[in-house]
Structure 1
């Protein structure tokens, strides 16, 4: 439940960030700081969701369909960690995590380059938001419970 909430907040923050960067690109000056904060919120939510999934795998929380399907009590710690990206949902979350981290570095780089930041980060935020959509609770979330998942 918490993982789905965090992913939803991250997705909404991504949409907000995209819109703020769009407004900044169109000439609004008071939206750049909001866009930066929004990106940091989206990236932080992605990192938190990833940590929640790692915790769920390592503590054998089999109420999650993803953990039930891809991990087991007899696996070593290294193999348990590899179940993070063992299934489609976890793989999408891993790519989302990588994108969020690269985006933080890109944000720091482009913020020193004048008008480059709104254009670059608007497109990059759209990529992050799309990946967050893929792990949305209504689509392929690794945090769906066994009794909730239609498959």
Structure 2
């Protein structure tokens, strides 16, 4: 007869530190995760998109669970998107807006394709990578 298995407890998702090494006897160094600080413009844009998503959902008389099912995410994720939480994935927020018919950028598909082409043209003339300028010592 096998002994009963005990389940290992997982660290909570909010944990910001973890041991770098699990070897016994070694010193344990800790890595600290940094919280992202969003600019006021980012928070405002996320809040605006979230308000548009919430208004469109309520206008269609859908519950949060119905929208979450259609988007393929959980109930709390939709609530975060509606509150304008900038940590929600961009794809999730855009998909929720698209499912509800909230216009992203321009409602006209021809206009959007022109904008995409314009930025693709712009990207072709810009360097493919950004590099910091090097300074040459002027010791002559």
**Pair in the same fold by TM > 0.5:** no
Structure with greater proportional strand content: 2
Highest RCO, 1 vs 2 (Cα 8 Å, sep ≥ 6): 1
Q: Which has the higher helix share?
A: 1
